[in-house]
Structure 1
Amino acid sequence: MTDLSHCAVLKAVKQQQAKTENPLPDKRQVAASFSKAAASYDSVAELQRAVGNELMSRLPETTPDRWLDLGSGTGYFSRALAQRFPLGEGLALDIAEGMLNHARPLGGADHYVVGDAENLPLRDASVDLMFSSLAVQWCSDFSSVLSEVRRVLRPGGVFGFASLCVGTLYELRDSWQAVDGMVHVNRFREFDEYQRLCAASGLQVRSLSVLPHVLHYPDVRILTHELKALGAHNINPGRPGGLTGRARIQALIDAYETFRREKGLPATYQVVYAVLEKPATV
């Protein structure tokens, strides 16, 4: 076999592996990426603020004895939850230890826990309210997340979450597709799958909807810089390795320019909002 044909075979094998592997990012890479981004995250978190505030507005009026910020990140919404529920005991849980180390000195929660949403290190029926904003999209097994939520919530407890679904960053995805056809944008679940999994969770669905949030940027470089600062840059299986050459970057810029609007280059996020409740009698 010639070197050329050998390379072709290896490339084909890698492409097939990318198709058959779990399309969502490995949680160890997620933890490492967000830990690295802890110091820069809050400076570029416009979307995260908007989504989290919208989710807060959708929570029912309640007075939890104990609340959990699931995927708490830098602790911005742990502090918001502490202000809204001053008499409740607060837990901040994240898979990225670097995020918790950043959040702890800023206060908000009573306890900071390194943990995985698919296998929560919490007792059964120990939490009244669970809040999760833009975290569970990184979980490969969302049915396990919902199972753990049902286990940890007390009867009558509420789980409010915001996540991302297919259609997020479609402008960036389509622009890269025009350049090289490779995976450069993180994949997310279909909204239909969120509907199906929530309906089958054993939790009562009080509300479940998808709402687009569109941000605008003066150029592509600022958008990609922001994604990196957030730790939300491409961490998909099958992503291209190595540096991106100048010619490919220029091709990306040219392709993205076709989306330009009066406000700038749009970046669309399809945000799933849900409020689920554990039945008072199980």
Structure 2
Amino acid sequence: MTDAATAPTLGTESALPDKRQVAASFSRAASSYDAVADLQRTVGNTLIERLPCSTAPARWLDLGCGTGYFSRSLASRFPAGEGVALDIAEGMLRRARPQGGASHFVAGDAECLPLRDASVDLIFSSLALQWCEDFSAVVGEAKRVLRPGGVFAFSSLCSGTLQELRDSWQAVDGFAHVNRFRSFGAYQHHCTHSGLQLERLEVEPQVLHFPELRQLTSELKALGAHNLNPGRPGGLTGRARIRALIDAYERFRTPSGLPATYQVVYGVLRKEMT
């Protein structure tokens, strides 16, 4: 685990995926997402357990709600509260609405929330904000819509995620086949300068294992999280390159299988009382 005091230097946030492509990709993946979202469940449940004990929101926001799994968890945890589920992907919202959980389902952008000032007590966001190019805008919007004393709790991904896949592709052709994510130092910088009280910020690796590479790549596609990089190579990938990729990835194999490491950032911030 790495804490904020030992964060690396601030890194570039350029060349993150275009949000329109992100929305379209996750909309297409809405029907397959839940079947392969074990990591997302683990991380989101960890984030819920890291909410301050005093958290009892009259109104909460599930920011980047996806299919609504954690909207339903929040509704169960805070039955007296009113819930708002928001996502940029219309396909995800169509999947989430019939299952309930939140009182309102809203299409919107984390960088420009369609909510009034000081209108929510808790913003919960799990594994969504890595797709936002302007994280300073995200925390600025969180500060704006939170009521005094409100909590902004998020999990996200930082650089080093899927490094095994990135390194394997680098050995094959040098192109960017794996999504880029901002550095942990960038999260530290934006949270420290957010105007919110920083209660915790840390990065913890989560390592999944797969018997074969195709299981990993199929899961990424089913999640909607396959390569969304601007400037990514187009067209089909030839058999020879896939064979070379498989061979390159094999050097990472362990007794548990082929590892896929996710660098998960957890943050909890609070708006000061006035």
TM-score computed with the length of structure 2 as normaliser: 0.95
Other structure's SS at 1:276 match: strand
* Aligned equivalent of 1:169, options 162, 168, 179: 162
Tell me if structure 2 keeps the 8 A contact 1:90–1:110: yes
Q: After superposition, where does 1:49-88 map in structure 2 within 5 Å?
A: 49-61=41-53, 62-88=55-81
Counterpart residue identity of residue 146, structure 1: V
Separation (CA, whole Å) in 2 of partners of 1:54 and 1:63: 18
How far apart in 2 are the matches of 1:21 and 1:232? 18
Answer whether contact 2:13 2:133 (CA < 8 A) is retained: no
Whether 2:37 is the aligned partner of 1:45: answer yes
**Cross-structure match for 1:33:** 25
Counterpart contact for 1:55–1:162, Cα < 8 Å = yes
Aligned counterpart, 2:96? 103
Q: Show CA shifts across 1:199-230 (max 9, x none).
A: 00000000000000000000100100000000
Identical counterparts, % of pairs:
74
Give unmatched runs, 5+ long, in structure 2: 1-11
CA distance in 2, matches of 1:96, 1:85: 25
Once residues 73 and 245 of structure 2 are traced to their aligned partners in structure 1, the CA distance between those partners, rounded to angstroms, is 38
Aligned length: 262
Alpha-carbon deviations, 1:238-272, whole Å to 9, x = none? 11100000000000000000000000000000000
Map of 2:253 onto structure 1: 260
Matched to 2:165, the amino acid is: L
- Equivalent residue letter for 2:207: V
Matches within 5 A, 1:1-282: 22-61=14-53, 62-281=55-274
Q: Secondary structure at the match of 1:187?
A: coil
Question: Which amino acid is the alignment partner of residue 136 of structure 1?
Answer: L
Structure 1 vs Structure 2 CA RMSD:
1.0
TM-score (norm 1): 0.92
Higher CA-based Rg: 1
Hey, which bits of structure 1, 4+ residues long, moved more than 3 A? none
CA contact (8 A) 2:27 2:89 kept: yes
Alpha-carbon deviation of 1:168? 0.2
Name structure 1 gaps, 5 residues minimum.
Answer: 1-19
Q: CA deviation at 1:21?
A: 10
Distance 2:170 2:38 in 1: 26
Question: Secondary structure at the residue paired with 2:117?
Answer: coil
Q: How far 1:22 moved relative to its partner?
A: 3.5
What letter matches 1:69 in structure 2? Answer: D
How far apart are the structure 1 equivalents of 2:237 and 2:218? Answer: 14
| Whole-Å separation in 2 of the counterparts to 1:236 and 1:258 | 25
Decide whether aligned partners of structure 1 residues 21 and 44 sit closer, same or farther in structure 2, where only a CA change above 3 A counts.
closer
Q: Counterparts of 2:130 and 2:154 in 1: how far apart (Å)?
A: 10
